[in-house]
């Protein structure tokens, strides 16, 4: 085998795994996204930030129990806080976050959960997760939104499950 043929052999030996490895990663992603259900926010519709106070559901921000153990958290983000800033949820609850902004772009990241969204004026951000472990979860605005950006945070308190209310 001359040097060139050997070179081609090396190239093939590198190219095949270079194709196979990313494909394997992609398969893993598709499985976790669709079979396990860890997906990213999608298109949840527009809303006019000037009329939030009269537009459902943002006219009444807060936590609503839809069914036993099933919650909806409606939140508005504005310079430099979230409304409501604190939520209390029993462990085991499945919560859908519905968030929008009144002014500029903010972020909404709940630590140690998959909840991580851009919060954009004019758009509704929506994501769902289940809180299994009791404790305090900080919520950070993770997009630069102005001079007080580093003061913009919230908290989710997950209380130990009471079998009656969380029903799991």
The residues binding other proteins (CB under 8 A) are: 3-4, 7, 10-11, 14-15, 18-19, 22-23, 25-26, 29-30, 32-33, 38-44, 46, 48-50, 79, 103-105, 107, 109, 111-112, 114-126, 138, 140-151, 153
The residue among 43, 46, 16 whose CA lies nearest residue 126 is 43
Contact 96, 125 (CB under 8 A): no
Q: How far apart are CA 153 and CA 62, in angstroms?
A: 16
Q: Is 152 exposed, middle or buried (0-12, 13-18, 19+ CB in 10 A)?
A: buried
Cβ proximity to other proteins: between 154 and 166 the closer is 154
Q: How far apart are CA 91 and CA 130, in angstroms?
A: 8
Q: Name the minimum Å distance from CB 155 to other proteins.
A: 9
Cβ proximity to other proteins: between 1 and 40 the closer is 40
Strand pairing category for 93-101 and 70-78: parallel
Cβ proximity to other proteins: between 125 and 166 the closer is 125
Contact 115, 39 (CB under 8 A): no
Q: Name the minimum Å distance from CB 56 to other proteins.
A: 17
Q: Name the minimum Å distance from CB 163 to other proteins.
A: 30
The token duo for 76 is 């508005």
Cβ proximity to other proteins: between 35 and 56 the closer is 35
Q: Name the minimum Å distance from CB 165 to other proteins.
A: 28
Q: Name the minimum Å distance from CB 30 to other proteins.
A: 8
Buried b / exposed e along 39-50 (16+ C-beta atoms within 10 A): eebeeeeebebe
Cβ proximity to other proteins: between 91 and 127 the closer is 127
């Amino acid at each position: 085998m001359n040097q060139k043929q050997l070179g081609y052999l090396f190239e093939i030996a590198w190219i095949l795994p270079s194709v196979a490895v990313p494909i394997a990663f992609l398969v893993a992603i598709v499985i976790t996204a669709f079979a396990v259900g860890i997906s990213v926010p999608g298109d949840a519709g527009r809303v006019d930030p000037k009329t939030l106070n009269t537009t459902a559901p943002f006219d009444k921000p807060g936590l609503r129990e839809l069914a036993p153990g099933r919650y909806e958290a409606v939140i508005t983000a504005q310079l430099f806080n979230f409304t409501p800033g604190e939520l209390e949820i029993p462990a085991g609850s499945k919560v859908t976050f519905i968030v929008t902004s009144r002014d500029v772009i903010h972020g909404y990241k709940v630590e140690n959960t998959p909840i991580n969204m851009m919060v954009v004026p004019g758009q509704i951000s929506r994501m769902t997760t289940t809180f299994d472990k009791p404790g305090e979860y900080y919520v950070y605005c993770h997009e630069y939104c102005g001079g007080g950006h580093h003061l913009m945070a919230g908290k989710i308190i997950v209380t130990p499950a009471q079998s009656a209310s969380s029903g799991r």
